[in-house]
Each structure stands twice: as C-alpha cells, then as structure tokens.
Structure 1
Amino acid sequence: MWRRKLIGLMGGFFLLSACFWQPVPVRADWETTTARHQTETGAPAFYYQQEKYQPLWPVDNRDKDNPLMALPDLASLLGVDYRFYNGSKQIVLEWHGTCLTMQINSRQAAYDGKSVALASAPADQNGTFYVPLVDVVRILGGQVAATADGFTISLLPGEAVHTDGPPVEEPVRLLPAAARLYQPVSLMPTDYEPREIQQGDLDGDGQPEAVLSYRTGDGNYGVIIARRADQKWQKIWQQENTFPLDTVRLVNLTGQGNNLLIGRTIGVSAGAVLQVYSMQDDRLELIGSNFYHRLDTGDFNGDGRSELATWQKDTGPTFMVEVWSWDGRRFVPQTDCRDYFADQVVGYYRKLLKTLPEARYVHYYLADAYIRAGQEERALEAIDGAFQLPYGYPGNEQFYILRGHALMAAGDYARAVSAYQAAENLVPEILPAEAHYRLALCYKYLGELNRAREEMYAAIRQGNSWPGFNQAWQQLAEWNNLTQ
C-alpha cells in the first residue's frame, strides 16, 4: 500500500501489478476554490470512527444519496492510499491490501481485478478529482448510513479469528502433519534475530499469543497464531503459501499491542512483500503492505514508538530507503529520522561511492541521504559532483529537484525556487508532490502566499504517500481557515 519515491519509479522499479505513473500536471485555481468554500451551503457532515471530518474541498451534493467527494478528502477520511495515472485517466485507491481502480467519466470500475459498476462516474472538477462516496465505501466492504446532517461511515476491521482444532499442551503440536519449524531467511542482513516460535501480546489483553513459523513437506511456508486458554494452546489463525518466509516479527507499531509482520520472498531481484497485521479482540486486520529488500524496525524518530524502514532496490546496488510510522489510520512516510539516515544510509552510500565513483545514481542517493540526515552542505557537494559526470541516469532535472530540497532545508528559499524552476525548464511539470510541497513553503517564507497555496494544492492532488503529506494537509487547512 505504500509507495516508492519518484526517482525509483522513473528508474523502472516494478510494481506487482505492472504500472508506471506520472502525476497529473495541474495547478490549483485558488480563487475559484476559495469562492466555492465560502459560498458552499448545505454541505453534508461526515462521521468516521466516532469523529467528525471536515473536508478541505467542497462536496458535490447534487446527488444527496451518493455525493461526489474530492479524492484527497475521501482518502484522508478513510485512511486509504490514492494515485492518479495520467495516461489512462485512472484513479487507484488501495486500502488494507485491496485495490479499487476507477476512471474519470466512466461508471465501470475494477475491485481486485473484478468488474464493478458505480452509480455515479468519477469526475474532474476544476482540476480536482471527485469520486462517489457511497459507491467507494460499499465496494471496500463498508457501510454508509444517512444522518440528520450527513453520513456515518463504517468499515469492517478485518477477518475474524476462530479456534481451529483441539487444544494442545505445546504450540509446536499445532503444526500440520509432516511440517517442521522454520527460521525465516532474510534477503539482506538486519539487526533482527529470526526465531521459529515467538510470544507476544497481539490483542492487548495482557496475555501473550504464540506465533510459529513453519515449512511443510511439500515446500509451502506458513505462520500460525495460537492463544493460550486453560493451560493449553489453541490455533486461532493460519496463513500458508509457496513463497518463503523472509521475516516474521512481533513489533508494536500502532501503540495498541504487538503487530504481526510477515515478509515473504518473491525473488532475489523482486524482493519481498511485507504484510502488517493488527489484532483487536477476535479480529485480525491487514493494516498495511509494501515491497522491500531490507526491513529494519525500531524507534527511528525518538517518539517512543517503533517505525518501519524499508529498503527497495532501484538501480544496481542502490536502494530507495523510507521510514514509515502509523498515524492512526495508515502508514505514512516520516520526514525526520536524521539519526537513522546518518547512521545507516549515508555510510552505505559513501562506501558504495568508493567502488562506483562515476555512477550518477550513487551520487543521487548519497545526496538524498545527506538531506534526510540534516547535512545539507554535504548534499550540495554530492550534487555538484554529479553534475561533473557524463550525462546518464538520473538526469539533471532530478538533481535540480534534489538541489531544491537541500537549499530549502538549509533556509535558502530563493535559490531553492530557482533550482525547482531549473528542473521544470528541462522537463516541464516534472516536479513530484514533495517538491511542490517544499516549493510552497519557499513561497510562503518569501511572502508569496497565493503562489504557496497553488503549490500546496498541486502537491496534495498528486497523492498521499510521500514524506510531508500530513504536514501539507495541515498547512493548507490552516491557510483556508485564515482566508475564511
């Protein structure tokens, strides 16, 4: 469900469903949007998880039973990832391992590969993409109930766990016939020590569950969760398939008991697929999935809660590194994990640069790591070094974007704007969402608030799985409140 950085996508990094995307090249019409915010009357209220949600965009309420809601608002409300594919005019929503694909001006959609029909077609309204609220929620398995002032939305939290088979004295006796305990084997070395049997409190009741990793005689790999009752163990959940186990971990990522992390190896080049589960009472919910080659867990931003760090292969021996944390509804990229990048990522690329001094992609990722480690001057040195190399991948426009990031972080806002403009002069509308966000902040600090708003809207429209999205959303909401 989480996304890769733009440089990796442009470098040809695969998706399991095989799709390349380019962000929609739109700019916000701030005056039009503001006027609609100010004149909108009778807008419905939305309630989800016992909270009232206030949309940033106006709601198209012409169909009062199935209103069209702005895609960024709906994604924020439900905690889903969203993207828009420019060439095909497709909207993709991903939620807890499921995928809903819609197309602008078409009532035909696909949910996990199966055709579904929408009562209302998604629409493009002044550069903002709108989708039918009730249709989307119901396709995702939820329910929408009308209230006196709007709608209450509910989504089922996952699959129910249930006892399976007779209780046993020891968890190992729950293994299938001819199966044996199996210690997961990671594609890349990590600090995590793999174990065949683990115990930890998954449901928050104070009593530990047991998690077993195993391999069957016919080559399948599985995971079993067992619960202790009356001094015996009983199986309550099981997953088994042909992909080898890369990792099985119990880590508290959500602050509500341990989460179960299962990583399965797809291939040496393709990497592994991670699934993160959360258990509440007697339901097990898949709350996130992602690709990785290396997986680290720990408190990387000093907030007292564990995060995930994924390394995803790009070109040669380079990796896109991202740190993810749980925001209450979904996993989001973290913007401030300086120590992790300084300790783990910078060192890796500095060592790699000694063996590949002419590789522009190594300079790129070293500069990116320096920025994330809070070492902007060293990032600029790495970027300058890359400009002296023969032209190749990544192109100069990508290094100008990176230069803009470094200058903005260093507080040199005017030069940062010039760097982003240089990138767009080489490849029009090349800026990724994160660059639009940082450019918006540059304009704000330079006193150009209208241009700042335009860039912030452009950032949010491109999707929500990039570092800084939550801050962009909050900043735009504050600006809207000030205007109103």
Structure 2
Amino acid sequence: MKKILLFIILTSVNLHLSPIFTNAEVKLNKELEKIIYEFIPPNSKLVSPEKPKSTKPYQFYDFNKDGQEEIIITFEIKAKEQPNPSQYGVIVLRKVNKRWEKIWETQTQGVGLDYSGVADITGDGIKEYLFGVTIGAAAGNNLEIFKWNNNSLKLIAEVPYHMMELLTNKKVGLAVWQWYIADTYFVNVLKWNGEKLVFDEELYASYYPVIEKFYHDKISKMDTWFYWYTLADAQIKANLFDKARISIQKGTTLAKVLSMPDVVEDFEQLSDKLKKRKKGAISHN
C-alpha cells in the first residue's frame, strides 16, 4: 500500500513540475527532450504554429554558419485566469563548448501562434526568424521578423496581417492580407529594400492572379460591392487600370442600388486614386 501511495505521489509531482507536451507535438528523442525541458519555463507547454503546416514546436537552423545548428523552440504559457490571452514565446539555443545555452528569448501576448519559421527576407544568405502571434479575430496577427546579429536575434520589422503568404520564387517577399469587412482584404506584397519592408510592384503583379481568383470565386457566389471595392484596390496596385475602372463601376452601381452614399463616396475616392496612379504610370513611362 505504501509503495502504491509513493508511486501516486511521485507521479503527481512529476506531472506538476514538467512542462506539458500537446498531441500536436511529435515524440522527442531522449536527448532533445532533456535539452528542451531544461530551458523552457516550467509552467509552459510546447506549441506548434498554425503555419507553415506541419511545423514542429522545435526547429533547427544554423544562424551563425559554424556548422552547428541552433534550436528554435516555441512554447505557450497559459494565463492563470481564463479566457485571458496566453504568452507565446520562443527560445533559441546554441551549443557552446559541448553545452547548450539560451542565447535569445522573446514572448508576446496573444490567443494563438500563427507562424514560426525561417526565411531569407533580407536576401543576405542568412535566414531571418519569423514569429507571428494571433492577437484576436478582429485585430488579426502580428508578425515580428528577427535578424541574426552578434550571436543573438534583433527585431528588424513588424507586420500586422490577417492572412500571410511567404513568396520565395526568385525574389523573397511577403503577401500580406489585411482585413477590410466581411471576408474581404486589402493585399500588399512587401520586399526588403535594404532598410525596411516596402511595397514591391513587380512581386505584386506576379502575385495578382491569386488575388483575382480569390475575389472572382467570391463574386460568383455573391455579387456585392465590397468584393468589387477590394478587387479594384488590388487592380490599381497591379497597374491593371482598365480592369480597376470596370470593377469600380460595378461596385458603385451595387452600392447605389442599396442606397449607400458613404460607400459610393468611397468608390469615388478609389476612382481618384486610379486616375492619379494611371497618370503617374504614364509620366513614368
């Protein structure tokens, strides 16, 4: 009886002290498990990001190009009072003289871990670390981009988004979808210019067919003004001026039928934006 009680007590203590591993996590080998347990907070659990799909809560990348990969670990610390937001964190470990050391950590409050991965955003041959935390349904997500600098990671950019796609065809860029109303989004495609992320016309033009298909699929099911409004915005950015003019006309007509003067005014402002963009494109050529 005493042995049974002792086993129950030891099991209870072990469960209480150990970080929790969720079903989304793969089985860790003994050595890696020991390393992770040593460094993540005792009240945390490992968490996999929503994207990239099938990403584990731990990743490997050789930031300093010394032949030894660093370990990137993502975790969640749940708030004591629910349903308050959790703390989502990431730790980077580096092996120094045969021992693992924590060289960097950050935490952000949110309701989910949307993105965790590496990509060469700056184009210098060394990948940056991308950490996207979900703030809320309306607020969307916040992406932080960290660059390797002096054996640590330094924040170089922040990007709010609701949907995001990493573009890696020839040029690396970010397609950022920011919510407007209903299920519509304003889309920008960003690229590093040596100092910061800026809008890139070339990447946008190559990405535009994805945006057009998205809205044509929506319009085929429900022909309403806000799809035409956000589609026209995308067409202006892609320098598809004739298409944008037609989209503005269709959206304006639908808004007038619904007696929505404020929306009609928005379309008029979008039409002015189209004229200025078209004039600028002509003078540039």
**Does structure 1 residue 282 correspond to structure 2 residue 151?**
yes
Equivalent of 1:223, from 83, 90, 109? Answer: 90
1:253 aligns with 2:117: no
> Hey, what's the Cα distance between the residues in 2 that align with 1:394 and 1:324?
30
Is 1:378 the counterpart of 2:246 in the alignment?
no
Select which of 370, 390, 393 maps to 2:263: 393
**CA distances 1:110-167 after superposition (whole Å, capped 9, x unpaired):** xxxxxxxxxxxxxxxxxxxxxxxxxxxxxxxxxxxxxxxxxxxxxxxxxxxxxxxxxx
Contact 1:203 1:258 in 2 (8 A): no
CA-CA distance at 1:371 after TM superposition: 4.0
1:362 paired residue number = 227
Letter in 2 for 1:387: T
Counterparts of residues 367-446 of structure 1 (less than 5 Å): 367-373=232-238, 375-389=240-254, 390=256, 391-393=261-263, 395=265, 396-404=267-275, 408=278, 416=279, 438=280, 442-443=282-283
Match of 1:208 in 2: 69
Tell me what 2:6 maps to: none
Distance 1:356 1:402 in 2: 26
SS of alignment partner, residue 242 of structure 1: strand
What secondary structure does 2:224 align onto?
A: coil
- Per-residue CA distance 1:256-297 (angstroms, 9 max, x = gap): 311111111111111111111101232422101121111111
Aligned residue in 2 for 1:177? 42
Q: For the residues of structure 2 that align with 1:307 and 1:402, how far apart are their CA atoms? A: 25
What displacement does 1:172 show? 1.9
Q: CA RMSD in A?
A: 2.6
In structure 2, what is the equivalent of residue 263 of structure 1?
A: 132
| CA–CA separation in structure 1 for the residues paired with 2:253 and 2:60 | 54
Contact 2:109/2:135 (8 A) holds in 1: no
Q: Residue 117 of structure 2 aligns to which amino acid in structure 1? A: R
Q: Distance in 2 between matches of 1:332 and 1:317?
A: 25
Matches within 5 A, 1:66-85: none
Aligned residue in 1 for 2:206: 339
Q: Does 1:298 align with 2:167?
A: yes
Change (3 A) 1:261 1:366: same
- Whether the 8 Å CA contact 1:250–1:259 is kept in 2: the answer is yes
Distance, in Å, in 1 between the alignment partners of 2:161 and 2:264 is 21
Equivalent residues of 1:364, 1:394 under 8 A apart:
no
What amino acid sits opposite 1:194 in the alignment?
A: T
1:177 positional shift: 1.4
1:242 counterpart (102, 109, 131): 109
Deviation, structure 1 residue 384: 2.3
TM-score between both structures, scaled by the size of structure 1: 0.45
Which of residues 303, 310, 314 is equivalent to 2:176? 310
Shift of the 249–346 alpha-carbon distance from structure 1 to 2, 3 Å rule, reads same
TM-aligned CA deviation for residue 355 of structure 1: 3.7
Tell me, yes or no, if the aligned pair for 2:72 and 2:90 is still in contact at 8 Å. Answer: yes
Is it true that 1:272 corresponds to 2:133 in the alignment?
no
Identify which range, 243-252 or 225-234, moves more after superposition.
Answer: 225-234
Q: Aligned equivalents of 1:204 and 1:329: distance in 2?
A: 23
The TM-score with structure 2 as length reference comes to 0.73
Deviations 1:428-457 (A, max 9, x none): xxxxxxxxxx2xx54566xxxxxxxxxxxx
Q: Residue 319 of structure 1 aligns to which amino acid in structure 2?
A: Y
SS at match of 1:380: helix
Where structure 2 has 5 or more consecutive residues not aligned to the other structure, the ranges are 1-29, 80-85
1:330 aligns with 2:196: yes
As a proportion of its length, which structure holds more helix?
2
Q: Is the 8 A contact 1:252 1:306 kept in 2?
A: yes
Partner of 1:393, secondary structure, is helix
Q: What displacement does 1:328 show?
A: 1.1
**Structure 2 counterpart of 1:353:** 219
Q: CA deviation at 1:353?
A: 1.9
Contact 1:253–1:305, Cα closer than 8 Å, also in 2: no
Kindly tell me the number of residue pairs found equivalent between the two proteins. Answer: 238
The 1:362/1:283 distance shift into structure 2, 3 A limit, reads same
> CA separation of 1:241/1:384 partners in 2, compared to 1, >3 Å: closer, same or farther?
closer
Aligned partner of 1:199 in structure 2 is 60
- Partner in structure 1 of residue 9 of structure 2: none
Q: Distance in 2 between matches of 1:293 and 1:213?
A: 21
| Shift in CA distance, 199/403, structure 1 to aligned 2, threshold 3 Å | same
**Partner SS state of residue 177, structure 1:** coil
Distance in 2 separating the partners of 1:288 and 1:331: 7
Identity %: 25
The one-letter code matched in structure 1 to 2:160 is F
AA in 2 matched with 1:297:
L
Change (3 A) 1:284 1:345: same
Residue identity in the other structure for 2:120: N
Q: Distance in 2 between matches of 1:443 and 1:305?
A: 27
- Aligned residue for 2:263, secondary structure, equals coil
